[in-house]
Homo-oligomer: A and B are copies of this chain.
């Protein structure tokens, strides 16, 4: 198959066009014009976020190009999820080497499209040029009248909770690197981060949530950030953390510290949130599965509590 250089940008864009399927009549002007136009923002608000992934930093040798493309989209949809916004479009900018196979580029596009499909949205525009291996995506979202969930709203007395399980992506990375292919669930968690957009909508619709952030940079980082932005502290209970099923075993085999792996590694893409405990019934009513992991305090930083031990929670390692 031909390389990017042989095919040329114009032909590449034409070959990508059928991969980016149209799924929504919100997209009033899609790919192929100077800019995209998205309608149906009934509350007159748009939520927007951008994040880049690089081949060097985010694509391990065993990760397919399709999964790399999925990741480029997913990290952005995860940020929308943390605000409680419904995805309404994705823009992608691909700066990939001239010598790259066109098939690999189309696989990246296909991975992005699959993640868009999961989020019930589509690629609305983008840009392709030769470059050193960076895919930058921008996700657009609609709040549909809900209030955005920000990082600065946590108040002392609120409950701290997370969606999903923790540490699986880190454990999956370790298992993948060591060729421990039997731990396929963890490896999948690492390779295919799932943006929690439906959970984000339920959380913001509940009216109970006071702050929210995704766990892309790790639990420690997210707790520290919410504490900083909200001028509060947290007591997080180690025993309460919903650690992924294979995580302890993989950490044992790889001689990694379990606590550090769960708290300081990133990549889980779950949502950390705080809520008013008087409104917990709203959360139950939402049907959302979540785990309570601690409380918001009137200190100024998060602590990890394990039996009698109570120590300052460390920031993310990566």
The chain A residues found within 8 Å of chain B, CB to CB, are 28-29, 32-52, 54, 56-57, 79-80, 82-83, 85, 89, 91-93, 95, 124-127, 129-134, 136, 138-141, 143, 148, 150-152, 212-214, 229
Chain B residues with Cβ below 8 Å from A152 are: 33
Closest-CB distance, A204 to chain B (whole angstroms): 12
A50 touches B132 (CB 8 A): no
A37 & B45 in contact (Cβ 8 Å cutoff): yes
Compute how far the CA of A230 lies from the CA of B80 in the bound complex, rounded to whole angstroms: 36
Q: Are B141 and A35 in contact (CB under 8 A)?
A: yes
Top 3 nearest A-B pairs (CB, nearest first) are A35-B49, A132-B132, A136-B136
Provide 20 A-B residue pairs closer than 8 Å at the C-beta atoms, listed in order of the A residue: A28-B148, A29-B148, A33-B151, A33-B152, A34-B214, A35-B47, A35-B49, A35-B79, A37-B83, A38-B48, A41-B45, A42-B44, A49-B91, A50-B93, A50-B138, A56-B132, A93-B136, A131-B132, A132-B132, A132-B134
Question: Which residue of B28, B47, B52, B150 is within 8 Å of A95 (Cβ)?
Answer: B52
Query: Are A85 and B35 interface neighbours, CB within 8 A?
Result: yes
Out of B29, B45, B49, B151, which one reaches A150, CB within 8 Å?
A: B29
Decide: A46 near B51, CB < 8 A? Known: A83-B35, A134-B134, A138-B138: no
Chain B residues whose CB sits within 8 angstroms of the CB of A134 once the complex forms:
52, 95, 131-132, 134, 136
Query: How many copies of the shown chain assemble into the complex?
Result: 2
Given A28-B45, A35-B85, A45-B37: A50 and B131 interface contact (C-beta under 8 Å): no
Contact of A140 among B33, B46, B79, B143 (CB under 8 A): B46
The answer to whether residues A148 and B93 also contact, given A133-B132, A140-B46 and a CB cut-off of 8 A, is no
Contact A48 B124 (CB under 8 A): yes
Query: Taking chain A's interface residues, is the majority helix, strand, or loop, or is none over half, making it mixed?
Result: strand
What's the minimum C-beta distance from A95 to chain B, rounded to whole angstroms? 5
Q: A39-B45, A44-B44, A95-B136 are in contact. List 13 more A-B contacts (CB 8 A).
A: A33-B83, A34-B82, A35-B141, A38-B48, A48-B91, A50-B91, A52-B93, A57-B131, A127-B136, A132-B132, A132-B133, A136-B136, A138-B138
Most chain B CB within 10 A, of A37, A41, A212, is at A37
Are B127 and A93 touching (Cβ within 8 A)? no
Q: Is the CB of B48 within 8 A of A48?
A: yes
Contact call A131/B52, Cβ cutoff below 8 A: yes
Q: Hey, which chain B residues are within 8 Å of A138, CB to CB? A: 48, 50, 91, 138
